[in-house]
Amino acid sequence: MKVDILAFGAHPDDVELSCSGILLSHASRGKTFGLVDLTEGELGTRGTAEIRKQEATTAAKILGASFRENLGLQDGFFQIDEISLRRVIYTIRKYKPEIVICNAPNDRHPDHGKGHELVKQACFLSGLRKITSKDEHFSQEPWRPKMIFGYIQFYSLSPDLIVDISPYIENKIESVKAYKSQFYDPTSAEPETVISSKKFLDNIKERASDWGRLIGTEYGEGLMVVRTPGISDLFHLI
């Protein structure tokens, strides 16, 4: 199954928090997308890996993703080594995305920066013919995505571009709320964390509103470019 966009997250919920509006926006234009979580988020203070798996499935359905996969890397301890790189390479070659979106190069959780570097390296290596990988029945062909973007999550990083997500903000928030174990729930008996407060949940919409303000729309999501994009027509930017 080929998709137009492949969105990676170090943990389940990273994508929903950071670029789900962008995915919904492009889906409305007929583009397809899939979701890939590097880990199960098993070290999270609240909930369990199994609960987060169920929540991730619900969120993927809300967003209308073509699929969601989990690569099973070790939360908190995965490394950028041959094993992890080959898992990501296999996934890229399997779905042949034109665009990859992943974590920002620097963020509060160390897995986010590592996840960014892992995916970035794998996108390059996936295009090398002498690196072999096999699907269940046949050898995979090399594939290198045309563009890689990093989404912004916890830190207030400066985006290189902002995408209008105004029509999709409520769907984005709904996908985030699918992770009931992680975010604000006044009935929860779980320990409080930085992201479980009502303020954090409110901040998601507030940040989208602020980015929207910068581009003259109601809501937006910011992206960082990994490689300088090239265009032939400046009017493609307006």
pLDDT, position 138? 77
pLDDT, position 237? 83
Average pLDDT, the chain: 96
Q: Indicate whether 137 pLDDT > 80.
A: no
Q: What is the pLDDT of residues 165-214, one digit of tens each?
A: 999 999 999 999 999 999 999 999 999 999 999 999 999 999 999 999 99
CB 91 within 8 A of CB 71: yes
Percent of the chain with pLDDT over 70: 99
Give the burial class of 54: count Cβ atoms within 10 A of its Cβ; 0-12 exposed, 13-18 middle, 19 or more buried: middle
**Structural domains present in the chain:** 5-237 (3.40.50.10320)
Q: What is the pLDDT of residues 74-92, one digit of tens each?
A: 999 999 999 999 999 999 9
pLDDT, position 134? 80
Report phi then psi at 146, rounded to 5: -75, -30
Question: CA torsion angle for 43, 18, 156, 145 (degrees, to 10)?
Answer: 100
Spell out the residues 6+ positions from residue 59 whose beta carbon is closer than 8 angstroms to its own: 12, 13, 16, 175, 176, 178, 179
pLDDT, position 238? 77
Banded model confidence at residue 29, pLDDT cuts 50, 70, 90: very high
Q: Indicate whether 15 pLDDT > 90.
A: yes
Is the Cα torsion angle 144, 164, 155, 64 positive or negative in sign? negative
HEC string for 78-130: CCCCHHHHHHHHHHHHHHCCCEEEECCCCCCCHHHHHHHHHHHHHHHHCCCCC
Cα–Cα distance, 163 to 99 (Å, whole number): 15
Q: What is the pLDDT of residues 149-163, one digit of tens each?
A: 999 999 999 999 999
27 is written with which tokens?
């889906």
Q: Indicate whether 38 pLDDT > 80.
A: yes
Cα–Cα distance, 172 to 204 (Å, whole number): 10
Give the burial class of 49: count Cβ atoms within 10 A of its Cβ; 0-12 exposed, 13-18 middle, 19 or more buried: middle
Which residue do the tokens 């996969």 mark?
Answer: 69
pLDDT, position 236? 86
DSSP state of 208: H
